[in-house]
Structure 1
Amino acid sequence: MNLKDSLLLFSRYAFKGEQPPSELAALSSDIVTTTGGLPLALVIIGSFLKGKDQSIWIETRVKLRKVPHTDVQQKLRISYDSLEYEEQQMFLDIACFFIGINKIFATYLWEDLQYCPNSGLERMIELSLMKIDDNNELRMHDQLRDLGRAIACPANKKPWKCSRLWDEKTIIVQQSKEENKNIEALCLDEYGSNMFMKRWSFKRMPYLKFLRLSKVNFVGDFEDSLSELRWLEWEECPNSFKAINVHLEKLVMLDLSDGNISECWGGWSSIKMERLKVLNLFNCLHLKRTPNLSTLKSLEILILEKCHNLEEIDSSIGDVKCLVSLNLSDCGDLRELPSQLGNLRNLVSLNLSTCQQLQELLKEISQLKELKELIIDEVCIKEIPPWISSLKKLEILSAQACDSLVGLPDSISHLVNLLTLDSRFCSNFEGFPGSIGSLVKLQYLLLGNECLPPKEDDDLETHWYWDYNYCLNHIPHSIGKLELLTELHLTCAKKFRNYLNPSGT
């Protein structure tokens, strides 16, 4: 970038878009010139210097002048070096393995390692070293990813001396007979996974905390192995299991998504994992019934999304008292839920979308007093039962494309914390009860075929967007009590002539 545009970009991050103050004007120009006009470097260094004392600006200029113009990574490393040790470890984890991973999953790992993930992520975002996208996934610029990987495994360093390994470097380590005490994270493809198992490499990695495997089976005696493992991703895990003494007491994340496992998989009873927080069974098509979950006392997140052949939820789910999130979306063969679901008194999120065989909502759901999110999109229910009023903490109720749904019960007025009510694409939806005016906290009421996007300068906390595209019979007069309502779109306006004044405006 040219000098003028470079200074504008730098100022956006260093001074929140303002012009540099007089005492920092010359320093700003020097630093911008020294970066060579590299946009990412301007963003990173500007973020780093924001609010810093002038002495830090001078030191940074000195450091930058020592770095050749072509060495981008060294310029970016200035911000990395400013992080605390634990924050640096989190940065390296993201760069090497966690790009595109849900923030919550990574947080479980970091908390178990006694890090401070919330403040660490906030610090990295403040320095523009990473960001969290709209799907709550961790993201990082490619050049910062490359920087992190170069730090974790420098080209001039023996692989077994590095903390994190992936690709072909893992093969070199596996061929070594030395104990690899430095290695904490390992990412293996199919070939590397098979060699890893054949050579019993895991026995020489006593501090391994992260392991990603592919298309390989556990066979043999695992005593005194993987005792520090916190995270296990097992791509296309086979249904056979021939290992003994697999004690993963410290495991917090088990990802078996896209696996070939069934409810008869030997790992369910053989692997000891009492501290497990997340179990991801996404797209496990051989699973017809959930396994016995009674031993997973610490489990907080259970993902069964796209388990298309799942027919039954085992009653042991009622023993998982710590469960916070249950995702059953797109389980097309699931016909009913067990009554023991009502025992999950800590459940915050329940996703039943596209469970098209479900005909009604289980009454025991009314016992879930902590529930904040209920997703029932494309479920063939005819009504939302009156007991919905028991869910006092509910904030999000989504019932998109529920074609049999005619309306809502009067008792919905008791959902005093409801923020979002979404009933788009409900073709037989006739209208709302008069009690809807009692939902004083409601911010988003989404109806019809789409929700109009807010203008960029709109305050999302104080606006509703209401779009009617289906043939509702009436709008209750209590809508006048909704003081936050700022936009009302009536596509089928002919049906609402009684709401217009004589002039037709």
Structure 2
Amino acid sequence: MGGVGKTTLAKLIFNEVCPKFEFTCFVEEIKGIPGRREEVKTRVWEKMRRHGVPVSSGTGRSGDEWYQVAGKSLFLVFDDVESSEHIDLLKEIAHDNGVGESRFVLTSRNSQRLHDCGDDAYSLRLDCLDKRDAVKLFTAYAFGGEEPPESSKEIVEEVVDGCGGLPLSLEVLGKYLRGQDTALWVEIPAALRKCDEIADLEEKVWAKLELSYNGLPENEVKNIFLDIVWFLTPASGFFPDDAIMAWSSIYGSTLNRLKLLEDRSLVSVHHRKDEVGNDHPTFHMHEHVRGMGRRITRKIGRTLDLSWPRLSTSSSPKDYNIYSYDDRIVFQEREELGKIVAARITLESTPISAESCHFCTMLDVLPKLTAIQYLQLQLPVERKCCKRCRNQAVTLPSPLVLLGISGSTGNLVLPVEAGKNLVLLNCYCVSNLRRLVSSTACTSLVKLVLTSCEKLYELKHWLAQLQQLRILDIERWSGKGDWLVSLGKLTSLERLALRGRGSRTPFELPPAFGQLTKLQYLSLDECEVSYIPTSFRNLTSLRFLRLEIGDRQVIPNVIGNLQQLRVLKIKSWAVDGFMEAIGHLTGLES
């Protein structure tokens, strides 16, 4: 059962015994790691630490890095195991490690997974708390560990009884009720009794947790909570940084709202540092809390995971299937589509008929998404068109804040009024994209990612208008790179990554690069640079630099001016001037 404290106990044990082992690794929610065994094994390695310090990625070939733990003491935890594949992986790692002092722990809701571990494994079953311990846990959260007032003891016992000894419910409701008026306390026991009328155990737990959600003080906090539920699903396709970016645009500052969700134990926010020392958040939710969020989402029709399977030629383009988690719903009313805030739309390539196709159906749906803020649009790389949509552009909904798009689109059109909202645009393998939305419709764009969009004709003029852009990633680009000149106008740019130029002919960095004085991260990978201008010395905020220098080119002295540089990666056949260039970089770490 979820919420009884399996992960909490595993973490306590892990933190207690870590110093005794050379290698340690705690893998939360391993069932959520996709891929085959070798891919999962690689992801597990990425979480490995040696004496508390993250290990390197080894050779880069899957599985090769594990030789480092062979014969060394290892403490490894797999949390929330669901598949026998994970048990087999754990056994494989234990066998290859071959050290008797190593220890391996797993948690699971399925007792069969524990039996799969073999006769030499010790199994511990966790049950819900008894009444005495449940009261102690609840009062610790509701009253800060102090004795509750005499007048409240009866209500406390009723609330504890209603939680059924489940630690997660006791924690969430205890934090929710802390400092609240007596009137709210009095309402909770009756609400919990109503939840107990639900037959399904998980639904019952979700209903109890929902009391805390209902008590959130403002709609913005509720929306952020439901957004996180969406962002933690594979359908989202966005990252926590993207979410923070979106909320800053929609709600302004979100730190206090996230802190409130953390205080209620609805969300936990962890942080990591990137190569330049910037902080990046990651979100975590207990699965029961996430399940509660999905329950609310389904109830209010807030999110959408829509795909067109291969429909028969007799199907009407208005009768499309929409999948929202486990429920199949047929939407035909504009009012219902108008509630959708977050969506993933996946389009099959098979036409319905010569006169109308799946692409037509999508074009009909998009304008009805009048409240949409987060959209992933996944189209086939090569689509077949009917007469109606062959030359028709994709007109996107106005409220969009985050947009990810892949496949064959033709041109993208975003209404001018919508440009005030869009902060992220991610185009992946949009093979025939020739024109993006007009620059006047993207005045708020903060992050732009273009991958394998090789037919963009207007990139030079369009980029120059994105004055708020802070992050620009372009992968697998082609041409002379004349659009690089326009980068000098992006004075807010903090991260620039160019990778995989189609031509191996070296290109020159334009002098305008020197105007990017806020740039902290610059990576030019798989694209040779033949000339670095002297204006490069102006990039005094640069902390990470990756360059590939053309054959027999001299590394310029101006690199020595980059006093904030922490990481320098240079690939070159020529080393002329290298030591002289880096001799003054006193802050260099790698």
TM-score range, shorter chain: 0.5 to 0.7
Give the Cα separation in 2 of the matches to 1:443 and 1:113: 38
Look up the match of 1:54.
146
Look up the match of 1:484.
none
From 368, 386, 399, give the equivalent of 2:534: 386
Q: Which runs of 5+ in 1 are unaligned?
A: 14-32, 154-161, 170-181, 446-505
Give the Cα separation in 2 of the matches to 1:8 and 1:221: 46
From 169, 177, 180, give the equivalent of 1:74: 169
From 431, 447, 450, give the equivalent of 1:301: 447
User: 1:220: how far off?
Assistant: 4.6
Look up the match of 1:359.
507
1:280-299 correspondence runs (5 A): 280-287=426-433, 290=436, 292-299=438-445
Contact 1:313 1:338 in 2 (8 A): no
User: 1:328: how far off?
Assistant: 0.8
Give the 3-state SS of the residue equivalent to 1:54 in structure 2: coil
Contact 2:471 2:496 in 1 (8 A): yes
TM-superposition CA deviations, 1:225-252 (whole Å, max 9, x none): 4333222221217684888996733321
Give the 3-state SS of the residue equivalent to 2:425 in structure 1: strand
Structure 1 residues 112 and 374, CA gap change in structure 2 (3 angstroms): closer
Contact 2:439 2:465 in 1 (8 A): yes
From 284, 287, 309, give the equivalent of 1:140: 284
> What is the one-letter code of the residue matched to 2:520?
K
Look up the match of 2:224.
90
Look up the match of 1:249.
398
From 300, 309, 316, give the equivalent of 2:462: 316
Look up the match of 1:9.
12
User: 1:386: how far off?
Assistant: 2.3
Give the Cα separation in 1 of the matches to 2:396 and 2:375: 13
Look up the match of 1:259.
407
TM-superposition CA deviations, 1:39-90 (whole Å, max 9, x none): xxx9xx89x9599453589998985554335x57635644673865544442
Give the 3-state SS of the residue equivalent to 2:335 in structure 1: helix
Look up the match of 1:103.
240
Structure 1 residues 412 and 109, CA gap change in structure 2 (3 angstroms): closer
1:341-352 correspondence runs (5 A): 341-352=487-498
TM-superposition CA deviations, 1:141-167 (whole Å, max 9, x none): 5xx2443233442xxxxxxxx5x23xx
TM-superposition CA deviations, 1:411-466 (whole Å, max 9, x none): 2232233232222x5454355343534334x2423xxxxxxxxxxxxxxxxxxxxx
User: 1:190: how far off?
Assistant: 2.9
Look up the match of 2:424.
278
Contact 1:381 1:404 in 2 (8 A): no
Structure 1 residues 270 and 89, CA gap change in structure 2 (3 angstroms): closer
Structure 1 residues 121 and 243, CA gap change in structure 2 (3 angstroms): farther
Look up the match of 2:376.
233
TM-superposition CA deviations, 1:110-147 (whole Å, max 9, x none): 33442643334455567583345758474435xx2443
1:413-452 correspondence runs (5 A): 413-423=560-570, 425-430=571-576, 432-434=578-580, 436-440=582-586, 442-445=587-590
Structure 1 residues 202 and 426, CA gap change in structure 2 (3 angstroms): farther
From 283, 297, 301, give the equivalent of 1:183: 301
User: 1:296: how far off?
Assistant: 1.6
Matched, 1:408 2:555: yes
Give the 3-state SS of the residue equivalent to 2:290 in structure 1: helix
Give the Cα separation in 1 of the matches to 2:529 and 2:407: 31
TM-superposition CA deviations, 1:248-269 (whole Å, max 9, x none): 333211211x22123xx2x426
Contact 2:307 2:321 in 1 (8 A): no
The structure carrying a bigger strand percent of its residues is: 2
Contact 1:277 1:301 in 2 (8 A): yes
Give the Cα separation in 2 of the matches to 1:404 and 1:288: 33
User: 1:390: how far off?
Assistant: 1.7
Matched, 1:194 2:292: no
> What is the one-letter code of the residue matched to 2:289?
L
From 203, 209, 226, give the equivalent of 2:341: 209
Contact 1:91 1:148 in 2 (8 A): no
Structure 1 residues 402 and 290, CA gap change in structure 2 (3 angstroms): farther
> What is the one-letter code of the residue matched to 2:400?
L
Contact 1:230 1:252 in 2 (8 A): yes
Look up the match of 1:20.
none
Contact 1:220 1:243 in 2 (8 A): no
Give the 3-state SS of the residue equivalent to 2:453 in structure 1: coil
Contact 2:240 2:283 in 1 (8 A): no
TM-superposition CA deviations, 1:350-376 (whole Å, max 9, x none): 111222535221222222222222111
The count of aligned residue pairs is 384
User: 1:331: how far off?
Assistant: 2.3
TM-superposition CA deviations, 1:202-238 (whole Å, max 9, x none): 4334443223212153445977x43332222212176
TM-superposition CA deviations, 1:276-300 (whole Å, max 9, x none): 1111102222335656434322212
User: 1:322: how far off?
Assistant: 1.6
User: Larger RCO: Structure 1 or Structure 2 (Cα < 8 Å, ≥ 6 residues apart)?
Assistant: 2
Structure 1 residues 269 and 221, CA gap change in structure 2 (3 angstroms): same
Structure 1 residues 104 and 309, CA gap change in structure 2 (3 angstroms): same
Contact 1:221 1:243 in 2 (8 A): no
Look up the match of 2:268.
130
Look up the match of 2:516.
368
Q: Which runs of 5+ in 2 are unaligned?
A: 17-125, 176-208, 275-279, 310-317, 323-328, 348-357
> What is the one-letter code of the residue matched to 1:255?
G
Structure 1 residues 241 and 52, CA gap change in structure 2 (3 angstroms): farther
User: 1:383: how far off?
Assistant: 4.4
> What is the one-letter code of the residue matched to 1:325?
I
> What is the one-letter code of the residue matched to 2:308?
E
Give the 3-state SS of the residue equivalent to 2:227 in structure 1: helix
Give the 3-state SS of the residue equivalent to 1:352 in structure 2: strand
Q: Please say which of residues 282-291 and 73-82 is displaced more in the overlay.
A: 73-82
> What is the one-letter code of the residue matched to 1:228?
A
Give the Cα separation in 1 of the matches to 2:148 and 2:393: 56
Contact 1:261 1:286 in 2 (8 A): yes
The percent of aligned pairs where both chains have the same amino acid is 17
